Amino acid sequence: MKFFLSVLGMVMIVEGLPYFAFPERIKSWLVRVSEMEAAHLRAFGFMAMCVGMALIYLSRKSNLF
C-alpha cells in the first residue's frame, strides 16, 4: 500500500505540474480537447494505457529503469 500511495502521489505531481506552470495554455488546450471527437480521445487514451503498460512491463522485466 505504501508503494501504491507513492506512485499515486507522483502521478498527481506530474498531472498538476502543467496546470501550475502554464495555466493559460492549459485553458486553451482544454477547449480544443472538448471539441475533439470521442473516438479520437478514446484512441489517445488507449495508446497512453498501452505505453504505460509497456513501461511497467519493461521496468519489471529488466533493469532498464
Domain ranges of the chain: 2-61
Has this prediction a pTM greater than 0.85?
no
Given a contact cutoff of 8 angstroms between Cβ atoms, the answer to whether 26 and 18 are in contact is yes
CA pair distance 16, 14, nearest whole angstrom: 6
Statement: residue 39 has pLDDT above 90: yes
Measured between alpha carbons, how far is residue 11 from residues 3, 5, 25, 59, 62 in Å?
A: 12, 10, 20, 17, 22
> If you average pLDDT over residues 42-56, what whole number do you get?
94
Given a contact cutoff of 8 angstroms between Cβ atoms, the answer to whether 59 and 53 are in contact is no
CA pair distance 32, 12, nearest whole angstrom: 23
> If you average pLDDT over residues 38-63, what whole number do you get?
91
Statement: residue 54 has pLDDT above 60: yes
> If you average pLDDT over residues 7-29, what whole number do you get?
94
CA pair distance 39, 21, nearest whole angstrom: 29
> If you average pLDDT over residues 1-27, what whole number do you get?
93
